[in-house]
Amino acid sequence: MTENETQLSRAKRIENAVRPHLAPIYFVLTDESAKHAGHAGARPGGETHYKMVMVTPAFEGLTRVARQRLVYQLLHEEFDTGLHALSLDLKTPHEAGSA
């Protein structure tokens, strides 16, 4: 991770890691860290627990587990640097009803 990248919020770094590879047509990332205060992995500054909702044609033909593995692979640096939990809702355009 470059010095400029570390100055970005974790949410922006996550988005920057995902968008170029998966080209989502719908992407929402919510920081849910405040809901987990006092739980394992929580930190006072937050940015540890997120929920991602993404719709992309890149998921066509992939199982739910394969989709999750793909996203986790793209975000390995974030998990290595303090991202503790990521809830995923990953769909194809057809599954989301936008086909």
Residue 85, exposed/middle/buried by CB under 10 A (0-12, 13-18, 19+)?
middle
| Number of separate domains in the chain | 1
d(CA 85, CA 79): 8
pLDDT at 76: 97
Return the CATH number at 48.
3.30.300.90
pLDDT at 70: 98
Instruction: Name the residue range of residue 12's domain.
Output: 3-96
Going by pLDDT thresholds of 50, 70 and 90, the confidence category of residue 21 is: very high
Going by pLDDT thresholds of 50, 70 and 90, the confidence category of residue 29 is: very high
Query: Averaged over 62-79, what is the pLDDT?
Result: 97
Query: Averaged over 42-62, what is the pLDDT?
Result: 86
Q: Give the chain's largest Cα–Cα span.
A: 42
Going by pLDDT thresholds of 50, 70 and 90, the confidence category of residue 47 is: confident
